[in-house]
Amino acid sequence: MDWALLAESAVNGGLVGLMYSLVAMGIVLIYKSSSVPNLAQGAMTMLGAYVVLAFANNAKAPIWLAIILAIVTMFGVGMAIERVALRRLAGRPIIMILMMTLGLEILLRAGSMTIWGGTGRPMPIGISDDPLFLGPLLINRTYAVGAAVAVAMFALFVLFFRTRMGVVLRAISDDYTAAWSVGISVERGVALSWAMSAVVATIAGVLWASVQGVDQSLAQLLLKGVTVAVLGGLDSIGGALLAGILLGIVEGVAASFLDPLLGGASRDLVDAAMLILTIMVRPHGLFGRHDIERI
Amino acid sequence: MLFRQAGIFHTNYAADRALFPISADRWMIGILLLCALAAPLLVNSLYVSSYLLPWLVWTAGALGLNLILGWAGQFHLGYAAVMGIGAYATVHATRAGIPWEIAIVLGGATASIIGIGFAFAALRVKGLYLALSTLALQFVMDWVISHVPAISGGTQATLQAPDIRLLGWPVTSDAGLYYVALIWCVMVTSFMLNLRRTALGRALIAVREKDFAAAVIGVNSFYFKLVAFSTSSFIGGVTGAILIGTFYHAVTPEQFSVDVSIQALAMVIVGGLGSIIGSYFGAAFILLMPGAMNTFISWAATQFGFSFSIETLAHLPQALYGALIIAFLLIEPLGLGKIYSNIRDYLLVWPFGYVKK
């Protein structure tokens, strides 16, 4: 057995996994505040990347300014999605809400391709392609930056949940009726969580786009995001971070062994298997609350 | 008007439990059935084979999904995978020389056995988690179908479906294929119509409303969830086989991808959960909409002097499709079936609107 290869795929897998958890954090934020499973998170990631490119290429803004402008825009987009589409569905059966997020997924994905076209484009954020040497291991520089950003986002959220607005969001996620009755505006809190998750999606979109380019395949991060979110417990942001590392390592190691056996593309299979296993064995995930309805 | 009712006055139980308690419904269904039978004579064969036939097949598929979603209240985001299993099993069986009539039953049975796999998820979790696990199973099935050469013949392969032979007679004409689809659709529809009059249908509805309340009144919810999943998978599998046999004539893994699952789900939601006529409307709406949208866009483009790039034209119908799903959920969450039944309720007692109260 080649230990260096194993270690390398584990380390790189862990870093990729942290980038998955950026997608998962958006799902968790929305689920925490409103119990809505957002199946449009992948499409929001893709839209965020396209908006950055639109500011950078069409408005000729430098890339850092384009990213900031895109974050502000996506903040508004997240608010708008909640206001127009989700608020009126509050209290409806979950099938309607799931279908709504699927409809949003189709609309955002096809809509951004209608406006900007579907051909793949690079996302130049100035990270060099040279590998980073860590002893004998070769580490992808973009993955390392992405992982650092994911950890930084997690730290930001930990700090945010200690501010006044963060306490409001925690109250809503604990019990929204009780939050309502003490005068917290639940609608505004939920809208804020959508906006924040759109911002996280934009950041995830930029990082993933610098790995694989800006095109439709960014929306397929949804499966990874959902797997990580469920594995970590749908209402735990720290869980999403750790589950991301776990899934990344399992996927990286498994893919390096299974790909030669199965002829490639075993990553999606590993994801789906992890998702099914999690739901069968421990549906509330690693760190989720235990009040999930089971039969 | 059509119905000429002034209230509901049944004098015996048999009249109340009739399949169509109102005679106008019987007449309308009879006339519709006659129109459906005469369609190949009345309508251009291009329309029959490219609109009516897929509509009927997809309606049968949507009804099967409606059984699990609208009647038993269980999520199924992997319906296309089940249809794919049926289709592949049937194609392989016919290629091995088994007569087509038996092969589709075999295909349905295979789909039903594997579909019970989805049910084991339903025995364990419900709601959102069931939705996610069926979605994951769809990905697993997709992967297995496209990556196992014994099933699909390789990742990029297309498997030619042998021509349909019914009782030894080859069915190749457009009208013949249309009648095959029509027979299947009528069979599924009459099964679903009668389902709500049977103990099975009532048990499924009890499970949908609250599974432990159903258990309290003596309905074994595990058993009925299994029955619902396997029945709906059987319908899905046979529908997949018929879709391949009558419409596509060849089978590839992409025909049963996750997008197709979402499309089937959209048919049920747009049509209305638990509504039979809604499934007809929903299937027609989802199938006809992209074509209608394309026509509308090109009409609008010439009318108002827009010019769209090719990429825009390629993706705009898809975006409008998403927007329509959202609009339906916001405006009429119970779907087209509810709109139909509102109109019907109004006409039922027209012009004596006061008898409703």
What are the pLDDT digits (tens) for B200-245? 999 999 988 888 888 899 998 888 988 999 999 999 999 999 999 8
The whole-angstrom distance between A266's CA and the closest CA on chain B is 9
Cβ–Cβ under 8 Å, residues A164 and A154: no
Cα separation, B69 vs B75, in Å, equals: 6
Strand blocks (E) in B67-146: none
| Contact assignment for B123 to A103 by CB distance below 8 Å | no
Please give the residue that has the higher pLDDT: either B279 or B161. B279
Sign of torsion over alpha carbons B220, B221, B224, B226:
negative
Cα separation, B126 vs B137, in Å, equals: 15
Whether the predicted pLDDT of B249 surpasses 80: yes
Contacts of A115 in chain B (CB under 8 A): 312
Cα separation, B80 vs B155, in Å, equals: 18
What are the pLDDT digits (tens) for A36-89? 889 999 999 999 999 999 998 888 888 889 999 999 999 999 999 999 988 888
Give strand pairing partners of A133: A138
Q: Could you please state the CATH topology (level 3) that the domain comprising A3-120+131-281 is classified under.
A: ABC transporter involved in vitamin B12 uptake, BtuC (1.10.3470)
Give the per-residue pLDDT at A70.
94
What are the pLDDT digits (tens) for A120-143? 788 877 777 777 777 777 888 888
Q: Which of B125, B135, B319 sits opposite A111 (nearest CB)?
A: B319
Contacts of A292 in chain B (CB under 8 A): 125, 129
Quick check: B319 contacting A, CB < 8 Å? yes
Angle at A17 between CA A170 and CA A241, to 5 degrees: 20
Whether the predicted pLDDT of A180 surpasses 60: yes
Task: Report residue B331 as tokens.
Answer: 């405006």
Q: Which of B121, B143, B318 sits opposite A269 (nearest CB)?
A: B143
Q: Which of A98, A110, A273 sits opposite B319 (nearest CB)?
A: A110
- Looking from the CA of B24 toward its CB, the CA atoms found within 13 Å total 9
Cα separation, A90 vs A226, in Å, equals: 22
- Most distant CA pair in chain A: distance in Å? 61
Contacts of A37 in chain B (CB under 8 A): 128, 131-132
Whether the predicted pLDDT of B339 surpasses 80: yes
Whether the predicted pLDDT of A8 surpasses 90: no
Contacts of B262 in chain A (CB under 8 A): 102, 106
Total CB pairs under 8 A between chain A and B: 145
Cα separation, B133 vs B139, in Å, equals: 10
Q: Where are the domains of chain A?
A: 3-120+131-281
Give A295's pLDDT tier (boundaries 50, 70, 90): very low
What are the Cα distances from residue B28, in Å, to A94, A106, B2, B13, B280?
Answer: 36, 37, 9, 23, 15
Give the per-residue pLDDT at B279.
94
Q: Which of A104, A272, A295 sits opposite B123 (nearest CB)?
A: A295
Contacts of A216 in chain B (CB under 8 A): none
Cα separation, A291 vs B4, in Å, equals: 53
Per-window interface: B 52-71 vs A, CB < 8 A: 69
| Contact assignment for A100 to B329 by CB distance below 8 Å | yes
ipTM rounded to 2 decimals? 0.86
| Contact assignment for A265 to B143 by CB distance below 8 Å | yes
Give the per-residue pLDDT at B310.
76
The whole-angstrom distance between A174's CA and the closest CA on chain B is 19
Give the per-residue pLDDT at A1.
59
| Contact assignment for A114 to B269 by CB distance below 8 Å | no
| Contact assignment for B329 to A104 by CB distance below 8 Å | no
| Contact assignment for B129 to A292 by CB distance below 8 Å | yes
Asked which of A23-32, A245-254, B48-57, B295-304 is least confident by mean pLDDT, the reply is: B295-304
Give B155's pLDDT tier (boundaries 50, 70, 90): low
Please give the residue that has the higher pLDDT: either A154 or B249. A154
